Structure 1
Amino acid sequence: MMRFFDVLFSLVGLFAGFPVFLCLLVAGYFDTGAPLFRQERVGRGGQPFTLVKFRTMTVGTASVATHLAHASSVTRFGRFLRKTKLDELPQLWNVLVGDMSIVGPRPCLPVQAELVSLRKKLGVLDVRPGITGLAQLRGIDMSTPEELAKTDALMLEQLSLFHYFVYIFQTAAGKGSGDRVKNG
């Protein structure tokens, strides 16, 4: 049933949000010259897929987990996108094509071996990764792999259609935080 809502919400979001997408694409083009960011991530069953986001960091920033990137890499427009979570909008395409769900564990990079291993052990990789989930709402990011994997597993144990809508509502209401970047 959640897949039905994933498809419905991603279609509505992509269609209704089209003018916003265009504005953000143009603004992103003036900000970095390359408004979309594509990165290989670990998906369902440990299979790789290409995640799409609005670019928030300068072109040429090393492709590392966000908590390993330096804060100076984030552009002014990128800070706005992260704060409003608008950088995540293109992931609705990933949801529509079945790479992701709206609610699920955030997809990590293949080089995050410890997190991939923990998630595999706890069954977290058995589901589609998501745009939002319990860990994001609690402010847990990939800098604490064990805590993240355990929180992801807890979310999946308790996930119901009710929780699916609660997580979406809480995210839309601004609860939680984006991935942290290094300041110094």
Structure 2
Amino acid sequence: MTGKIFHMKGKAKGRPGENLHRFASYLLDDRYGFYVQDYFTELLRIERKRTERSKKPFLLVLLNASELAWTERDRLFRDMAAVLFSSTREIDIKGWYKQDSVVGVLFTELSGVGESADLARSNILRKLRTSLSEAIERRYLDRVSISSHVFPEDGEIVESNLPDSNLYPDLLSKKGPGRGFSLFVKRLLDLVISIVLIVLLAPLLAAIAIVVKATSKGPVFFRQERVGHFGKPFIFLKFRSMRADTDPEIHKKYIEQFICQDRANKGNVADLAADGKKAVYKMTNDPRVTRVGRFLRKTSLDELPQLFNVVKGDMSLVGPRPPIPYECERYDLWHRRRILEIKPGITGLWQVKGRSSTSFDEMVRLDLKYALEWSLWLDLSILLKTIPAVLSAKGAY
């Protein structure tokens, strides 16, 4: 039973050596010596966080034996375990990626990044295949698929290159007792509240649309590609608050400066705002914004069309703000977790604790705090706090 390691109660009795052996029995499969699935998944999560700090990549190798009959797997896994424990380093982690079906091996701290990481992967796979072929009958080995996955992945998290889901089994599963049901309730509340608000606010939505259309040339809605949960792109809606012929490069350069601000504060002062002040997430005097648009932004009325994004399922009422693809290109490794761990939303901890006056790193930490501590009660609390935050207009530009 893979979940038993998280439900040990009371204090272990007996001599220290016996206690250690008893505890290890909860973490290791007593047949082959692999870590059980839940613990291996946790070690993979920890290794990702270690790599975020150290910038030293690791390699996950998966050996999938699901095509073999259950009666054939015992001998295969015994031979496979013998090979893995004799041909890998002590610091490399062997465990069940999928219990009794897929074995995972974490080769930690590869020699470098870029081409050197690819070279290390090639060498590891070549040696591993050779060792396995010498110990396992070909009729079995031919039905074992071997895949490899380097973290961090190459490229940005955009439409053409989504993150490698094999590296995030913890994020793609329903973790914790009752969490799956809570997520279902969250989605149900998103739908009900959004639909009710759209119906109740229909006259206001229509009035804003008429004013936007009458006061400036261009469409009523501003449509923009954003990066959603786990890197999935979607079209983000707002009431248009800027002139239709604006140059996106102005905002792109500003956002790049804003994201780099904390790094600049650590030494590269050239990336600070020109006036030496701390930059904010939105430009305080954006020349592209219309007079009506400035009012819509100050009152957050320009955000109302995102209720349709919530109904569609691209967003939630509460969650991190969805980034623009060019923002992700500037992300540090640990920043990416804000779009990997939970669905984006209209409001969140960032909006009720400073809004646009918060630094980028502070914003990401609030997003990660929300993902870690998420509950239905936290969502309700944020929704209630959003009302006075919007009315105060603090940090809204």
| TM superposition score normalised by structure 2 | 0.42
Q: 1:79 aligns with which of 294, 304, 314?
A: 294
**Maintained 8 Å contact 1:29/1:35:** yes
1:99-120 deviation line (CA, Å, top 9, x unaligned): 0001000011000123474332
Question: Matched residues in 2 for 1:25 and 1:123: separation?
Answer: 32
**1:62 aligned partner:** 247
Superposed counterparts of 1:35-46, under 5 Å: 35-46=220-231
**2:330 aligned partner:** 114
Task: Give the number of aligned pairs.
Answer: 179
Question: Matched residues in 2 for 1:116 and 1:3: separation?
Answer: 30
Question: Matched residues in 2 for 1:118 and 1:140: separation?
Answer: 21
**Maintained 8 Å contact 1:115/1:146:** no
**1:10 aligned partner:** 194
Against the structure 1 CA distance between its residues 123 and 109, is the aligned structure 2 distance closer, same or farther, given a 3 Å change threshold? closer
Q: Indicate the structure whose relative CO is greater, using CA pairs within 8 Å and at least 6 residues apart.
A: 1
Q: 2:365 aligns with which of 123, 139, 150?
A: 150
Whether 1:161 and 2:376 are equivalent positions in the alignment is: yes
Q: Which runs of 5+ in 2 are unaligned?
A: 1-184, 256-280
Q: 1:52 aligns with which of 209, 227, 237?
A: 237
Question: Matched residues in 2 for 1:174 and 1:164: separation?
Answer: 15
**Aligned residues with identical type, % of pairs:** 36
Superposed counterparts of 1:122-141, under 5 Å: 122=337, 124-141=339-356
Structure 1 residue 6: Cα displacement: 0.5
Name whichever of 45-54 and 68-77 sits farther off: 68-77
Against the structure 1 CA distance between its residues 48 and 11, is the aligned structure 2 distance closer, same or farther, given a 3 Å change threshold? same
Structure 1 residue 166: Cα displacement: 1.4
Question: Matched residues in 2 for 1:179 and 1:108: separation?
Answer: 17
Question: Matched residues in 1 for 2:355 and 2:189: separation?
Answer: 25
Larger C-alpha radius of gyration, 1 or 2? Answer: 2
Q: Which runs of 5+ in 1 are unaligned?
A: none
Q: Which amino acid aligns with 1:51?
A: F
Name whichever of 150-159 and 17-26 sits farther off: 150-159
**1:101 aligned partner:** 316
| TM superposition score normalised by structure 1 | 0.86
**1:170 aligned partner:** 385
Question: Matched residues in 2 for 1:178 and 1:94: separation?
Answer: 23
